[in-house]
Structure 1
Amino acid sequence: MPIAAPTPPFALHPQAHRIASEAEALRIARDLAADFATGAAERDRERRLPVAELDRFSGSGLWGITVPAAYGGLGASFVTVGEVIALVSAADPSLGQLPQNHLAALDVIRVTASEAQKRLWFDRALRGYRLGNAFSERNSRHVGAFETTLRRDGEHFVVEGDKFYATGALFAHYIHIGAVDPEGRVHLAIADRDAPGLTITDSWSGFGQRTTASGDVTLRGVRVGAEAVIPAWRGGEAPSSNGAVSQFIQAAVDLGIARGARDETIRFVRTRARPWIDSGRERATEDVLTIHQIGDLTVKLRAAEAMLARAGRAIDAILDAPTDAAVTETAVAVAEAKVLTTEIALLAADKLHELSGTRSVLAADNLDRHWRNARTHTLHDPVRWKSFHIGNHALNGIAPPRHAWS
């Protein structure tokens, strides 16, 4: 029987820094990434949850940089958002993944919420409060089929259901829950993490992304106020950025994993790998086939970086005035980036061991975490369907579907 997880000892009443520019956001992300890289291997090995690191991350103000300027935020470009996520994910992709659902929920609020709701939830995000995911379900027909229900009860709403893959919930101040109303429309119902009837279980046993604590959330008669019910269905009914934002951040995590694996390969080859016997060289860094492979990885990484930045610019262009045509082109651009970031994450993690040799698999170094993280995270929203939608648009002019996984 799973045991409900105790509340981690994180800052329950945060006061986050307000970031004033995109240059400052990138500087903060680089500084945090350098610190987060220290101890990442040990956290993964011991499954030591990164509570203190997460408080620093959200307290830095980076979790609030997408809040529009009209509501007191930076309104950062998604080019910058993608780079922030990639920088942190290169150091520790579990930490890099944790803001994904938070940032996606903020975009849903921007697109579909009332003005009063926007003021409330954007202010909380700017102060450092974190939103945790309770969206996907273990036993539903497919990822977009929700059995969790939302019904009105007087001035409140009541949520009933069971959730899995609840990334960030264990560390969150509020849990945003995907639930359907009696008309079958999907809403986000945002509940306090300590609301009666809401239970978070740290049951995540995946071999990768081990410290995301992506376990279960059980909802039994959880009551939320009207200010916390966001009509997310409207983000798919009309053209919007919602789906593209969700997928873009996933791709940024994968790009970071690829960077981390490639950089680890270079460090290992420089300091510990041996040249192959047939190379005729004294050092691994002089092995011509190793040099070629590092060059190939670098080119493919740069291509993925360029495609992610291109997708970020496409999202920026549709934020204020989305049209059907522009949203379609943006979805395709994000899908293209997702294909390349997935491929380079898996390739770089694999080449880390191929080019570093047998000594790279020793448990003391825990280098296999790069492959485990890449293989686990790239299972989000499979790229075989990205390629299908890209091809179907190019060949037949058919737009990708509008939902959070496309």
Structure 2
Amino acid sequence: MFRKTEACVTRRCMVLKRNQSVEQERAATLWGETAPAGYNAVIAEFTPLLEEIRAQSLRAEVERILPFGQIARLKESGLTAFTVPAEFGGLGRPLHELFSLVVDLATADSNVAQALRAHFGFIEQLRWEEPSAYTERWLRRLGRGETAGAAAAEKGAERDRFATTFSQKDGHWVINGSKFFTTGSLYADWLTVTGSTEDGETVKCLAARSDPGLEIVDDWDGVGQKLTASGTAHFRDVRVEDDELRYGNTGFSYSQAFFQLYHLATVAGITQAAALDIARAVRERKRGFSHANHALPAHDPQILEIVGHVASAAHTARAIVRHAAEALQAAADSREGDERGPATVKAELEVWQAQEIIFPLTLNATSLLFDALGGTATLRVAGLDRYWRNIRTIGCHNPRVYRTRVIGDYLVNGEPPPGQWRVGTV
């Protein structure tokens, strides 16, 4: 794994800056972090890897190549341990920097970024809890590069009870049931599983990807984020050790804001990638229309304005994400415990407002980009459609319409955001 001193990282950053491509240099000017130290110095070490993943992303999308290799490289590099404390083998970076990392990961490949959402959420859960043998055991595993995937959501389950059950069999706890939206689990070492005991109590645990009785099916058929493996996981008498069980609502107090801001950071990265792609396509395009403003699209002011719109949307989305990430950092630092105190409520309201702006802005930008090119932009091999499809797909998770109402209710009536959200049949 990469484990450099701050001085070494700074020198590496200077070398990389000298060797940047024109695209990288312009992207850094438009969207790079304003602070010269901290995140910039750390992420510079991983820039070649992110560029490699980005170079593979179009072919992966068109040919449906699942990103096993890309995620393995991220694990080997140490980047999946970005927020794991240094004493457990991680990079020990603060929470607010994580969302800049997610933007950069999503710029490289949004499927890879979203596949790690549950993983980084599990790390944050462990960092939030009081230190124990449990948290130390898992932080050391994650610090070594092991990753966790999602196994919480279900299709057809009730809102107040999971269909997946934890029960006793032959003196051991076993899991039975099926999960959907198991994002990233196909690539993970562990699954974070949530279910109900026979008396209805919520319980969580970790199950190894290789456990007997655990089957993950790549049957995700969404219009976007096609390579996230967000399909089905079946549990058939999957055995769980007693010391892995966690009862009740064990989520960290600011988890709702965390997971939704992660989505928004992914969307910001998607828009950034779209801006880079449309800029390159316009720069390289030689075909033009007789009634255009210039023989070459790269010098046509109307075409340049479209590219500017897309780039500005990417900038705005990233800036809003960074701002909301500071509020989330404040919630984490407040150590408000199990209760959602003022810092957590503020973070939630920040993120819900961000949702209302970022989704319409980026959906429009990734549709508008087609106006900068001709009919060839719609060819499947160009892959430009994936940006709109991916944002539209992410935007359907926990739809913003309900949270926009929450903002209005708070401003008008002072009503705080509701507690943990659940989805299910009634």
Gaps of 5+ in 2: 7-38
> Alpha carbons of 1:30 and 1:280: their partners in 2 closer, same or farther (altered >3 Å)?
same
CA contact (8 A) 2:81 2:90 kept: yes
| Matched-pair contact (CA < 8 Å) for 2:213–2:235 | yes
Aligned pair 1:347/2:387, yes or no? no
Alignment match of 1:151 (pick from 139, 148, 167) = 167
The alignment partner of 2:382 has SS state of coil
Structure 1 residues 194 and 111, CA gap change in structure 2 (3 angstroms): same
Which SS does the other structure have where 2:237 is aligned? strand
Structure 2: which amino acid aligns with 1:46?
E
* Contact 2:78 2:91 (8 Å CA) reproduced: no
Distance (whole Å) between structure 2 residues aligned to residue 117 and residue 72 of structure 1 = 16
Deviations 1:58-82 (A, max 9, x none): 2221211222456554432233211
Within a 5 Å distance, the mapping from 1:258-273 to structure 2 comes to 258-272=271-285
Q: Is the 8 A contact 2:204 2:245 kept in 1?
A: yes
> Which stretch has the larger CA shift, 97-106 or 379-388?
379-388
* Letter of the 1:34 counterpart: E
Write the mapping of 1:68-83 to structure 2, written as runs, cut at 5 A.
Answer: 68-69=85-86, 71=88, 73-83=90-100
Instruction: Report Cα offsets for 1:352-382 as digits up to 9, x if no partner.
Output: 2122221211233222222222222222221
Match status 1:398 vs 2:411: no
Once residues 246 and 127 of structure 2 are traced to their aligned partners in structure 1, the CA distance between those partners, rounded to angstroms, is 10
Match runs of 1:236-275 below 5 Å: 240-272=253-285, 274=287
TM-score, length of structure 2 as denominator length: 0.83
**Structure 1 residues 226 and 339: CA distance shift in structure 2, 3 A:** farther
Cα separation, partners in 2 of 1:230 and 1:28, compared to 1, 3 Å: farther
Letter in 1 for 2:154: E
Q: Counterparts of 1:181 and 1:20 in 2: how far apart (Å)? A: 47
Partner of 1:66: 83
Q: Which residue of structure 1 aligns with residue 155 of structure 2?
A: 138
Shift in CA distance, 154/312, structure 1 to aligned 2, threshold 3 Å: farther
Comparing 198-207 and 339-348, the one that deviates more: 339-348
- The residue aligned with 1:10 is none
Hey, what does 2:354 align to over in structure 1? 337
Instruction: State the Cα deviation string for residues 215-263 of structure 1 (Å, max 9, x = none).
Output: 2111122111133223460337xxx222222112111111111111111
Match of 2:395 among 378, 388, 401: 378
Correspondence for 2:144:
127
Other-structure match for 2:50:
33
Give how far 1:91 is off: 1.7
Q: Alignment partner for residue 305 of structure 1, among 309, 318, 333? A: 318
DSSP-derived class of the 1:194 partner: coil
- Give the structure 2 partner of residue 326 of structure 1: 343
Pick one of 200, 211, 217 that aligns with 2:227.
211
**Range moving further from structure 2, 350-359 or 182-191:** 182-191
Supply the distance in 2 between the matched residues of 1:90 and 1:24 (Cα, whole angstroms).
18
Match of 1:227 among 218, 240, 243: 243
Q: Percent same amino acid among aligned pairs?
A: 28
Letter of the structure 2 residue corresponding to residue 339 of structure 1: E
Question: Which amino acid in the other structure matches residue 174 of structure 1?
Answer: W
| Equivalent in the alignment of 2:300 | 287
Q: Aligned to 1:190, what secondary structure does the other structure show?
A: strand
Question: How far apart in 2 are the matches of 1:51 and 1:395?
Answer: 48
1:183, distance to aligned residue in structure 2 (A) = 5.3
State TM-score, norm by structure 1: 0.87
Residue 171 of structure 1 pairs with residue 182 of structure 2: no
CA distance in 2, matches of 1:268, 1:90: 17
Contact 1:186 1:231 in 2 (8 A): yes
Q: What displacement does 1:138 show?
A: 1.7
| 8 Å contact kept, 2:272–2:311 | no
- Structure 1 residue 332 displacement after superposition: 1.0
Aligned to 1:3: none
1:189-200 alignment to 2 at 5 Å? 189-200=205-216
Output the CA distance in 1 between the equivalents of 2:292 and 2:137.
Answer: 64
Does structure 2 retain, via aligned residues, the 8 Å contact 1:25–1:62? no
Q: Against the structure 1 CA distance between its residues 160 and 54, is the aligned structure 2 distance closer, same or farther, given a 3 Å change threshold?
A: same
Where structure 1 has 5 or more consecutive residues not aligned to the other structure, the ranges are 1-15
Q: Give the AA of the match of 1:203.
A: D
Q: Retained in 2: the 8 A contact 1:98–1:168?
A: yes
Contact 2:306–2:369 (8 Å) recurs in 1: no
Q: 2:34 aligns to what?
A: none
In structure 1, the residue matched to 2:177 is: 161
Measure, in 2, the Cα distance between the counterparts of 1:55 and 1:275.
43
Question: Does the 8 A contact of 2:220 with 2:230 survive in 1?
Answer: yes
Letter in 2 for 1:370: Y
Aligned length in residues: 387
Q: 1:101 aligns to what?
A: 118
